Every structure is written in C-alpha cells, then in structure tokens.
Structure 1
C-alpha cells in the first residue's frame, strides 16, 4: 500500500506538469527507495531542462519536491512551476503506517480534494471516502470473507448506492468470478478467470446479456514470469498483445507491443546497472526504427539517480532531468 501510494503521488505530480513523461520514467526513484531510507533522505527535488538548438533551457525552477518522515513514509509532495508553488499533496498515517488521509491543495493552500481511509481490526481497508472542497461526493465500502479476501465491493454516489460487485474464489483462493450489479441488483457485467492444469490464466469479461466483451490471456514461462498478455475481442479476434523477455537474472530485457494485425508497433529494450537500476532504455517504433533513447546516471554508490537524458535516435539530447536529494545524515 505504501509503495502504491508513493507511486500514485508521483504519477499525479508528473501528470500536472507540462511535459508528461511515460510511466517508466519514475522507476529510478522506486528502485532507489531502500537506499534512500538507509542514508536518511528527507526530500527529493527534480528539475527538467529542454534543449533548443543543442542548448539546455530550464523548464520550471522545480518540478517536484517529495518529503518523508522518520519512518520513511511520504508526507508531502509539492509541485513547482516557474519557481512558484503550483499545488501540493499531504499524507497522514496511523501508528501502523497505513494511510489515513491524502489531501490535495492548490497554489493558495486551499483544499481541492481529499481521500480518507478507514480500516478494520486486522488492517484491511473497509471504506474509502472521497471529498471535493470539503464535501463528500462518493465512497467505496469493502466487505471481506473468511478467507480474508474481498467478498463484496459497494460504490456510493452522494450516499446513494450506485453499483456493487460480488467476488467468488476457488479452493486455492484464486479469484474465478466477479459480478457487477446496478443499484437495483440487476446484473450488468461479469468477469471470469479460468486456470488450466499448469495454472495459466485466461480472463473474460461479459456483458449482462451474456455476450463476451473482451478476453485476456496470460502466458507464463517455467519460472512463473509473464511472457505474453493477449487481448481478444468478443468475436475472438486479436485486439492487442504485449510480449515480455527476460535477461539471465530475471529482469525484463525487452517489451514488445503488437496491434490487432499482429504488427510490432513499439519495442522497449532495457539495460541495467549492477544494482538493478536502469542504465539505458531504447525505444523502437513500427518498422524497427530507433525512436528514442533514455540514459541514466547515478551517484558514486550507484544507487541514487542524479541525471537522466532523453535523446533522439541519433543520440542528440531532447530533455534532461536532474535529481537532488537532501539527507539528514549529510
């Protein structure tokens, strides 16, 4: 939950920026989190530069600043544009380190939105409340079965039931079916998961009429690593697929995206440093043409990201991202 909240914060903050980097762009910080804790990092600042005619030009004084408490939980994320605060997110936790509240503020420190979490005695979320400008406009309620897994999910809009979902599991506690109902209790949609004798899974989603809407098939290798995710339309035709390849130590070395005609439209090749962080990512477009290169540099211990370059296909920089860390142990 904590890592998920951390990444959600980064995703939100980057989305608010003028240039939105792809999801893979935030991974260097995720990989560095353990080391950041060891050396007592209290905040991280990120600055972006774009190149014009080969000359770097700063884009905003600070894009992001993230602060942590002594338990290494994120406490505040602040967005900067042109040197001024453009908004922030504040996090509150209980004694167990579970998130109690996430509040979003604008540049004038006025509350825009808030999410509150309520837990049961065993630390599972039983309710999430969503507020805008101090008024709750929706909430989610979670019920759990004897297996400790969610048995029913209820979604309310302005304190009125909007829809609910019931879940079914097999003897191995694998989810095999979910059914979504409208507020009157009429089935709207159903999802099923089927497992073969090797444990490989195929997911299907149906309309309430029983017509298959979409089917997702997952293939794994003999080390239980995902190698292919294939999506089919209701009539059984290919919609898209994503292929994963791994290096000898189990890191993703290649990711290939195919369209509905089984044509390779995007390819990612990954190289790693000795501690598992990205060293370089090459991105190819349809036809196998190199489109973009990302290069990463780290501190002397080879843990903290310090410098990140986005280059075109002839390795001319398009953008640079620089990371600045403040530590209580400096």
Structure 2
C-alpha cells in the first residue's frame, strides 16, 4: 500500500523544546531526530537567546553541518559519529557534574538496532532492542530500565490491519500488564486521521485519555494541518502546511498554542510554480538554512546544493539523465560525498516510466513500482511490491477521452478494493469535483472547486454524503494572479476568519496577517528574504 506520510515536525527549526527545557532527553527518538537534522554547514552556532545565558539552548555545528556540541539549561554535551554514521554517541555532563552517555546503533537499513542510555542525573540506565517482521515493520520493542540495581522491563507491541496499517501500539509492564495504549484511525488510503493516547495507572480500571492528534488533508492527500489536544480537548500547538496551484508545498509553519508562529520554511518557485529555485528556513525572522537548485538548458533538475549563509557548498544530490532528458538515476550523497542510496528509473520506447526502485550501497533494494499503460500511452495500472518482492497493492486508472483520470481504484494484495476516487471536470478540463468512496463503495466525501472567469479557484468546498458543506474557503487574487486573501467558513456558511498575504517586488511572500470573523487582527507573521543576486 502506498505510504501517505504524515509530516510530524519538531517544535522549532533546531530545537525540540522551548527555552528553559532540556534538549538532551531520555526520549531517544527525539534526541536522534535532533542529531539527524543535517544543516549542511549553514551555521556555525545557533541559540534561542544570549548564548551566555543559562536559560538558552546553544548548538554548535561541524563544517559538514552536523551537530557537534549541545548546551542547554541542563548541561553541555559533545556528539561523535563513526564513518558510516551507524553508531552515534552523545556524551557530556549535567550542571551537577553527573555523567550522560547515549549511543545509537543502526542496521544497514538505518533502522534502530539498539539504543543505550546512561543518565547520571537520574541514576538510571536504559537499553532498547528492536524486532522487525518479515515485511520490515517494527513488531516489538523491548526496553529495560535499571535504577538502584533493579530492572524494570517494558514490552511494546505493534498491531497492523490487513492493509499493513498500524492500528494499535500497546505497552506492557511486568509481562502482560497493559499500561499505555495508542490507537490510530486511518482512512482507506492509509492517511492517519486521528492518533489517541491513553494511560492506565494502578488505580484505573481501564486506560484514560491523555492526548489526541488530529490530521487534515487536501484532496491530494497532502497534510494541511496537525493539531495536538490535551486530555481536556484544549489545543496545545499545531503545524500548518500550504501548497501552490500545482500542489507543491510553499510554506510549512509551527504554531504555538497562543497563535504565535514558532518557525516557518518558505519555498520560492519558478514562474510556472513547478521548479524550486531556493528554499529558506526562518526562526524569529532570520534565515538559518538555504538550498539552491540547478537546472540544465532544458529545465531539468540536475543538481541540488546545500549552502551555508556565506555561500559555501556542502552536500548535494545528483540527477543522471538519458539522451531523452529522462532521469535514470537519482543519487544522494552525504557530507563525505559517499552515496547514501540511489533511486533508479526505467522507461519504455515511448518514454513512459515503467519501473522505479531503490538501491542501497550494500546492493539491497527497497520498494519497487511497476507501471502499465494503455494503447494511448495513458497510465492504466500501477503495481507495488515490497522489499521482499511480494505484491503490496495495485492502482487501476481509467481516463476520459481527453486523457484525464476519471477514476482511480486501489486494491490490496488480496485483490479487495481499499478505496475508489471519481474525478469530474469542467468543459475547460479543470478539476471540478473529487468523490471518494470507501472499501464498501460508500461515498465518504466530495471536494468541489469553483473557478472565476480567469480560471483561478475562487471557492473550495468539502461536502458530506448528505450534501452538507462541512467547510469551505473563499479566495481572492491580485492583478498578477497571486493569492492575497483566503477566508474560511464553517457549516451554515458562517465566516470564521481570513488570512491576508503580502508579497515583495520579486513575488515572494513577506507577511501573513490573520484576522478573526470580526476583522480584528489575531496574528501577524513577517519574513525576511535574502537573495543570492
């Protein structure tokens, strides 16, 4: 089954915690995500305040953009790596001079094999071992906590449905005593709609709700927001995502509970909104990460560079093209110019993509996708195989006489339908409606798009099977065709509020102002842009 990835992002561009809280955590996965953020040499040092302040978090980076030192309100730590970065060590002292040591060991697929943590401050030791199933999915994680010479063992078990989608994550203590539980609700396409967390104490008869994450998507299964609620249903924070008319992401931002923008990443495209020319990440209005993209004379992307703010080149991705300007190899290099992995593509005589697969330095392969076309050269079938070569899912396409897809049907490995989507178009060929049906062929929802006389979307609606508008957006553009106002309305067509967009002379977004239903300002976020020219 295709993986529609949820974009779970950190609470800040560099830090997973707010000022005043520890960055080096016992939560090994949070620490690992910090360490694996490659900033490609963009900065030498970053802090969320005065570096000399005991309340500030400070990161230092090596010349390759990897974190080499961390100072946070709890202590100072150094980070070392082996040549292949399959063993990573974080070691240092807390301010009470107690010792801290964390070591990650990864397998050839760069999945956790084991993790050990020795935390002198809490006088605890933790070891973790990971078990994977034949399909490569994590099935069990064993955690041993040692304190005062006594061990406590936790067993985390993961359950999946027939489509291979995670449905439950259960934590057991003392063998078979369930204490933690996470439940996942997915749609037929595999998109996680809700993740609900529960905890059961010794005084509870059953696990109680502690937190809930809610995800929303656009009609292309792109995540548009992730909202986190506490056990009372109070919003804690959220992530927002925006896309251009070509469904390419143009902005992602982290919003704190009070509505303040914590950080944002902006993407600047070419005039056709297809080619990314630069990307910028901002925190507090100052950019910290820059990427630049190189195209050949035919408009083909051939290199993607990572630069420091001073313009120094670090790592890169290389694209190899055939004589017909088709990408045959997409090679990813690390900071030592060693290959991390390669995506390979093959085509038929007509130039249609027929196969795509992943190859790693040890010659192991990942997922493989095979494409079949009809006599007109239109995609009619996609067949997906897992890394073991077993059938994963199929996608059947039916196109109208104009060559546009009018129906998509997804079937699982067992041949049973998982979902179906119908596409309806205007006489001009613009997408007017998308109707999604579940595995029982029952209508789930309809997306409707209404256009102005210039062919721009002026209204978007999500409609329930009963025909009611669940929510909608009204959009206005300036004389250059750029979005300037977007208003959201709720059931009953009641206006909820709107966003106003301001651009500079080069067409880059420099401000978003959000107002409530009465027109009163709610928040304003400005962006500073530095150009290479």
| Aligned-partner SS, 2:428 | coil
In structure 1, distance between residues paired with 2:380 and 2:414:
19
Contact 2:328 2:346 in 1 (8 A): yes
Match of 1:239 among 444, 461, 471: 444
Contact 2:265 2:281 in 1 (8 A): yes
Contact 1:275 1:303 in 2 (8 A): no
Instruction: Report what 1:230 is aligned to.
Output: 435
Greater shift in the superposed pair: 228-237 or 132-141? 132-141
In structure 2, distance between residues paired with 1:194 and 1:67:
31
Residue 276 to residue 88, structure 1, CA distance change in 2 (3 Å): closer
| Aligned-partner SS, 1:315 | coil
Residue 233 to residue 167, structure 1, CA distance change in 2 (3 Å): same
Match of 1:142 among 345, 351, 366: 345
| Aligned-partner SS, 2:377 | coil
Q: CA deviation at 1:181?
A: 2.4
Residue 233 to residue 130, structure 1, CA distance change in 2 (3 Å): farther
Q: How many residues align?
A: 288
Instruction: Report what 2:480 is aligned to.
Output: 275
Residue 276 to residue 80, structure 1, CA distance change in 2 (3 Å): closer
Residue 114 to residue 230, structure 1, CA distance change in 2 (3 Å): farther
Q: How does 1:255-266 map to 2 (within 5 A)?
A: 255-259=460-464, 263-266=468-471
Instruction: Report what 2:367 is aligned to.
Output: 163
Instruction: Report what 1:216 is aligned to.
Output: 421
Greater shift in the superposed pair: 232-241 or 193-202? 193-202
Instruction: Report what 1:119 is aligned to.
Output: 321
Contact 2:13 2:283 in 1 (8 A): no
Give the CA RMSD over aligned residues: 4.4
Match of 2:281 among 76, 79, 85: 79
In structure 1, distance between residues paired with 2:394 and 2:297:
38
Instruction: Report what 1:42 is aligned to.
Output: none
In structure 2, distance between residues paired with 1:130 and 1:184:
23
Structure 2: gaps of 5 or more residues? 1-8, 15-236, 249-253
Contact 1:164 1:183 in 2 (8 A): yes
Q: CA deviation at 1:157?
A: 4.2
Residue deviations 1:43-75, cap 9 Å, x none? xxxxx9x9x99xxx9977x9769799xxxx866
Contact 1:229 1:242 in 2 (8 A): yes
In structure 1, distance between residues paired with 2:519 and 2:386:
53
Residue deviations 1:179-203, cap 9 Å, x none? 1123454322111112356766111
Residue deviations 1:210-245, cap 9 Å, x none? 101111110112221111111111110223321111
Instruction: Report what 2:176 is aligned to.
Output: none
Matched, 1:188 2:407: no
Q: CA deviation at 1:141?
A: 0.8
Matched, 1:319 2:319: no
Structure 1: gaps of 5 or more residues? 1-11, 31-47
Contact 1:156 1:163 in 2 (8 A): no
Give the TM-score normalised by the residue count of structure 1. 0.69
Residue 235 to residue 66, structure 1, CA distance change in 2 (3 Å): closer
Give the TM-score normalised by the residue count of structure 2. 0.45
| Aligned-partner SS, 2:372 | strand
Residue 276 to residue 104, structure 1, CA distance change in 2 (3 Å): same
- Judging by fraction of residues, say which structure has more helix: 1
Instruction: Report what 2:290 is aligned to.
Output: 88
Instruction: Report what 2:103 is aligned to.
Output: none
Quick check: which has more Rg, 1 or 2? 2
In structure 2, distance between residues paired with 1:328 and 1:136:
28
In structure 1, distance between residues paired with 2:426 and 2:276:
36
